[in-house]
Structures are given as structure tokens and as C-alpha cells.
């Protein structure tokens, strides 16, 4: 969907985007060809036609399969360049980008390969795209805390190259509290902390992310609306939620966009930001998400400016850097 000029020109930060979820079918085919990989799809339209999800897991199956074409550092560089060009076009001036190290190391692609490749793009993103960047390494919660501990050991050898750590992948049955020690160690190392919670999982997981892990932002957090006391808590403490409206509809976490709880969160005084999550899979980048909530949730220009400002306030940036984005 084309975005309106108002929303696209708003300078904003994107705080919830999985770089592997920015992999467009065209780049999937391009990388498959370069790496000698035969894809089980006839063409890009065939692949795009499979982007029809019934829940988070049905998406994750395709997401983890798709990233198999990322083998060499230059594949990660091409992926990040492609994301940055598209995000810049929609007003993104700063991006804190998630990546899933275990999704690569478990298929024989090293952390160094992923980091080197991403960094080759991100280190000059300000000059080339006008977008400053940070990298957040996410633990795959469905692979458990023991593997996350080992991944953290490896990440800490590169801690100067990342802004923070997060927690993602299949949520139900994988409570944040299981990762208490992993997050305590990451905090000790001076890393910023975030976690997906309350996307498909219950409000209880949001409490755990806050009280047990001590995260600074909640990714998604939409199920918080099931618990009034929790909503009061995140409003009082100004805990930012990185909401991804088009993702929530595509993964059927909400039935339709007009039924989304975003207006309720805003009315309750929660600091919310708007993000794309997996822009290639869910129907657009952050500007498309702004346009969709303007169209279908009735938010006006002042609200949209507020969302953009919230993203700048919630970014892991020093104050002078924030000024550049306001």
C-alpha cells in the first residue's frame, strides 16, 4: 500500500525489525543462484504466494527456511543494504536491528560471518542511507536457556559490536523467566535488554520480562491489555512497547486492524512505537504500518507524530544523537 507523504517524511526510529525478515523473494532467488542452492519454489510469485500465515509458528517455518540462502558474509551485507534503502525511503533515520545468531550457527554459518556481513553494511549506513544503526542479537527462546548461555558466551567476545540482546521465536510455552541468568549476564556486560513478550503469549510473560529479565522495552506486548494492573505499570514506568500492527494481523494475533488494541494502549498512556517486524513477510515497512493505522484506526497527524517521537525517545541513543532525529 502506498504511504501518505505525511507519514513517509516523518523522521523516525525503527526499533523492532528482524533483518532476516527483510529478505525479499527477489533477493532469496538472487542469493540462491549465487550460492548454488535449488529452491523448492518455481519463482518469486510462487514464494510470495506462500506468505499466508495462520499463527506465529506457520510464519517461523517459512522464515527459518528462507534464511538458508544466507551463507556468506556478503549475503548478509546485501540483505542489510536492501533493508536500509527501503526503510530510509519511508522516513527511518535510525534502526535498531534484530538478528538471530542461533538461526545461523545451527546450520553451519558462524556468528563472525553474520556479524562481519551485517557490519559491512551498517558501518556506512549513515553516509549511504542517512540511517544510523544498532544491532540486537536475539536468543531463540524455543531452543532453550542452555543454548542461549553458550550463544551469549560467544556474543560476549564481540560485545563491542552489538547494542543489546533480545528474545524471540515461538513464544507459547517458553516463558521469559527461563532466561533469567542469560539476561543477568548480558546486563552485567553492559548490554541493553529487550524481549518479545505478549505477542501470542499471555500478559504474565510481559510481567516476567519486566520483573525477572529487567528489559528496557517490550517487543509487541499487545496482550498486556488483558491485565489492567500491567497496563498501569507499563504506563507509569514509561516502558516502551514496540508494536507491529501489520504483523499482528498477518499472524492472526488480532483478527482485523480495526480491532487492534493500539488505541486502548495509547489512551491508557502507554509509550508505544510503530514498527514493521518482518517487512518482507507482513506487507510493508514502517511507513506502510503508519499509513495502515492512519487509515484503519483513525489516528491523525498529531498521533502519528507522537508515535515517531516515541520511537526516538525509546531508542538506545545518547541525547545529542536523539536531537538529530527530533
Min. distance of Cβ 219 from ligand HPA in angstroms? 8
List 277's β-bridge partners, or say none.
17
Residue 24 interacting with Zn ion (CB under 5 A):
no
Q: Which three cell numbers stand for residue 211?
A: 520483573
Kindly name the residue from 199, 228, 259, 306 that is annotated as catalytic.
Answer: 199
Min. distance of Cβ 326 from Zn ion in angstroms? 26
Please list every residue from 96 through 135 that binds Zn ion, using CB under 5 A.
none
The piece of 135-143, 182-190, 255-263, 276-284 that touches Zn ion (CB under 5 A) is: 276-284
Nearest Cα neighbor of 315 from 14, 8, 87, 11 is 14
Of 3 and 277, which has the nearer Cβ to Zn ion? 277
Min. distance of Cβ 124 from ligand HPA in angstroms? 26
Per the CB < 8 A criterion, the answer to whether 288 and 7 are in contact is no
Residue 248, C-beta contacts closer than 8 angstroms, at least 6 positions apart:
199, 220, 222, 254, 260
Of 94 and 196, which has the nearer Cβ to ligand HPA? 196
Q: Which residues bind ligand HPA (CB under 6 A)?
A: 18, 21, 56, 63, 168-169, 196, 199, 247, 277-278
Min. distance of Cβ 287 from ligand HPA in angstroms? 19
Count residues contacting Zn ion (CB under 5 A)?
A: 1
Residue 277 interacting with Zn ion (CB under 5 A):
yes
The piece of 4-12, 31-39, 69-77, 273-281 that touches Zn ion (CB under 5 A) is: 273-281
Min. distance of Cβ 119 from ligand HPA in angstroms? 21
Sign of the dihedral defined by the CA atoms of residues 181, 182, 186, 189, in that order = positive
Q: Which residue is nearest to Zn ion (CB)?
A: 277
CA angle (289, 295, 300) in 5-degree steps: 90
Of 195 and 317, which has the nearer Cβ to Zn ion? 195
Residue 147 catalytic? Answer: no
Q: Give the ranges where the chain is alpha helix by DSSP (H).
A: 5-9, 25-34, 44-49, 56-66, 73-89, 101-105, 111-122, 125-129, 144-156, 180-188, 203-208, 228-236, 245-250, 262-267, 286-297, 301-314, 319-325
With CB under 5 to 8 Å by kind, the binding choice for 14 among Zn ion, ligand HPA, none is none
Of 75 and 219, which has the nearer Cβ to ligand HPA? 219
Q: How many CB atoms within 10 Å of residue 131?
A: 21
Per the CB < 8 A criterion, the answer to whether 18 and 277 are in contact is yes
Of 63 and 207, which has the nearer Cβ to ligand HPA? 63
Residues that bind Zn ion (CB under 5 A): 277
User: Catalytic residue numbers?
Assistant: 199
Amino acid at each position: 500500500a502506498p504511504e501518505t507523504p505525511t507519514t513517509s517524511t516523518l523522521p523516525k526510529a525503527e526499533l523492532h525489525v528482524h533483518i532476516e525478515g527483510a529478505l525479499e523473494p527477489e533477493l532469496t532467488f538472487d542469493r540462491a543462484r549465487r550460492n548454488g542452492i535449488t529452491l523448492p519454489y518455481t519463482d518469486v510469485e510462487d514464494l510470495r504466494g506462500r506468505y499466508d500465515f495462520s499463527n506465529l509458528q506457520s510464519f517461523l517455518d517459512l522464515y527459518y527456511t528462507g534464511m538458508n540462502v544466507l551463507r556468506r558474509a556478503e549475503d548478509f551485507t546485501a540483505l542489510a543494504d536492501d533493508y536500509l534503502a527501503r526503510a530510509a525511503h519511508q522516513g527511518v533515520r535510525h534502526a535498531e536491528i534484530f538478528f538471530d545468531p542461533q538461526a545461523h550457527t545451527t546450520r553451519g554459518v558462524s556468528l563472525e560471518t553474520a556479524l562481519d556481513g551485517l557490519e559491512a553494511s551498517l558501518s556506512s549506513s549513515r553516509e549511504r542511507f542517512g540511517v544510523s544503526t544498532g544491532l540486537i542479537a536475539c536468543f531463540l527462546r524455543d531452543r532453550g536457556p542452555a543454548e542461549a548461555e553458550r550463544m551469549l558466551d560467544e556474543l560476549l567476545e564481540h560485545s563491542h559490536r552489538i547494542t543489546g540482546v533480545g528474545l524471540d521465536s515461538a513464544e507459547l510455552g517458553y516463558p521469559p523467566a527461563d532466561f533469567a541468568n542469560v539476561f543477568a549476564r548480558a546486563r552485567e556486560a553492559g548490554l541493553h535488554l529487550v524481549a518479545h513478550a505478549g505477542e501470542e503469549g499471555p500478559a504474565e510473560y510481559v510481567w516476567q520480562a519486566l520483573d525477572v529479565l529487567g528489559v528496557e522495552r517490550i517487543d509487541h506486548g499487545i496482550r498486556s491489555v488483558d491485565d489492567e494492573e500491567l497496563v498501569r505499570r507499563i504506563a507509569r514506568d514509561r516502558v516502551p512497547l514496540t508494536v507491529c500492527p501489520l504483523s499482528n494481523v498477518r499472524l492472526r494475533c488480532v483478527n482485523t486492524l480495526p480491532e487492534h488494541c493500539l488505541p486502548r494502549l495509547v489512551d491508557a498512556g502507554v509509550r508505544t512505537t510503530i514498527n514493521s517486524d518482518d517487512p518482507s513477510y507482513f506487507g510493508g515497512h514502517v511507513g506502510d504500518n503508519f499509513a495502515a493505522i492512519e487509515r484503519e484506526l483513525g489516528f491523525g497527524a498529531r498521533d502519528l507524530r507522537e508515535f515517531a517521537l516515541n520511537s526516538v525517545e525509546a531508542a538506545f541513543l545518547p541525547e545529542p544523537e536523539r536531537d538529530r532525529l527530533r
